[in-house]
Amino acid sequence: MSENVVLRLDDAAFTHPGGATVNGFDVAIRRGEAIALIGPNGAGKSTLLRGILGLVPLTHGRMAFGGGSDAGDAAEGADASNRAHASNRADASNRARDPKHADRSMLGFLPQSMEFDLDFPISLEQVVMQGRYRRLGLLRWPGRADRAAVRRALETVGLSDFAGKRFGQLSGGQRQRGLLARALASEPSLLLLDEPFNGLDQPNRDALVATLRRLKGDGVAVLVSTHDLELAQQVCDQVLLVNGRQLSYGPVAEVLTLGNVQRCFEGVEVEIDEHTLVVPGHEGH
């Protein structure tokens, strides 16, 4: 089982240089598994994702990619989510263990929808190729394998016909799918998505759900921060509730209860109906 783990966090904490911190993460993400990361605004969802990317320092515990790249995490067969916190703290050294830089080439990242300079002279294809740059490094230029990976990524998100189009000329939903293709072009074994459904219309939303399902089928692990319970139920196997720290982690049906969610959103009125998590004040986000 453990050789299928693509990311393992053992009592991990991530702290911004400014001081904001999220902690207590005991998570093991496996191939083909999707995890919904749910919590109120400011709960630290983005901090966790950025921490996994190495942009926010790991300040406690351990983080290991690919099952065994960090020799320090000898936790064969143990399910991190079941493990007792105390014993975990005991075996974790005080110095946090951050994996090697090179290990992160297995990560793909779709950032929260953001503003781009729409006049920037770059084609969709060239944006997607940026997903290959980490593998290429400074000196190498894209070759046949890279172009093939870009083609496949564009096919996966259904934008093959737009490859040569200037990125700024695409619609908002197409740009979002283009950035997903960029994340896929790196051929990640773990895909991190930060609020990918914000501002997407229904067709683009459906396309993204279909894409995520296909990726899971191909063995890609997915960690997606979202307010969208429909997505959590349609695509995800596990839910990770976060508010400053890990609150609960487990199968969707067990974790995603009204009580848990209300506790997570602390006083904010929350309802769960069949499709959505109704969180007042979060709609615009």
Partner 1 sequence: MFAAVRGGVVHVSLWDALFGAFALPFMGRALVVLLVLALVAGVVGVLVNLRGLEFVSDGLTHAVFPGLAVGLAVGGTAGLLPGAAVAALLGAVALTWLARAGVTSDAGVAVVLTAAFSVGVIVVSKSDDYAGALEELLFGRVLTIPPDEVLPLVLVAAVALVIVLVTVKQQVFRAFDAAGSRAAGDSGFRLDLALNVAVALVVVAGASTVGSLLVLAFLVVPGAVARLASARLWPLFPIAAVFAALASWIGLAVGFAASVGAGVDLPAGSTVVAVFVLGYAVVLGIRLLRDAGERAA
Interface positions with partner 1 (CB under 8 A): 50, 53-55, 101, 104-105, 109, 111, 114, 116-117, 120-123, 126-127, 130-131, 133-134, 136, 138-139, 141, 166, 179, 182, 186
Residue 272 φ/ψ, nearest 5 degrees: -120, 120
Distance separating alpha carbons of residues 134 and 132, to the nearest angstrom: 6
Tell me the CB-side half-sphere exposure of residue 263, using CA atoms within 13 A.
Answer: 12
**Phi and psi at residue 209, to the nearest 5°:** -60, -45
- Least Cβ distance, residue 163 to partner 1 (angstroms): 13
When the beta carbons of 112 and 160 are compared against partner 1, the nearer one is 112
d(CA 39, CA 225): 8
Compare residues 27 and 185 and give the one whose CB is closer to partner 1.
185
Contact in structure between 110 and 192 (CB atoms under 8 Å): yes
Look at the alpha carbons of 174, 180, 182, 185 in this order and tell me if their dihedral is positive or negative. negative
Nearest CA to 107 out of 184, 217, 16, 196 is that of: 184
- Smallest gap, in angstroms, from Cβ of residue 192 to partner 1? 9
Nearer to partner 1, 42 or 116 (CB): 116
List CB contacts of 266: < 8 A, sequence separation 6 or more: 40, 243
CB of 93 to partner 1, least distance (A): 25
Closer CB to partner 1, 131 or 173, in the complex = 131
**Smallest separation (angstroms) from partner 1 to the CB of 241:** 24
Residue 280 C-beta: closest distance to partner 1, Å: 29
- Distant-in-sequence, close-in-space partners of 216: CB < 8 Å, separation ≥ 6: 32, 33, 34, 222, 235
Q: Which is nearer to partner 1, 38 or 179 (CB)?
A: 179
Q: Shortest approach of partner 1 to residue 45 CB, angstroms?
A: 15
In the complex with partner 1, the residue whose CB is nearer, 95 or 100, is 100
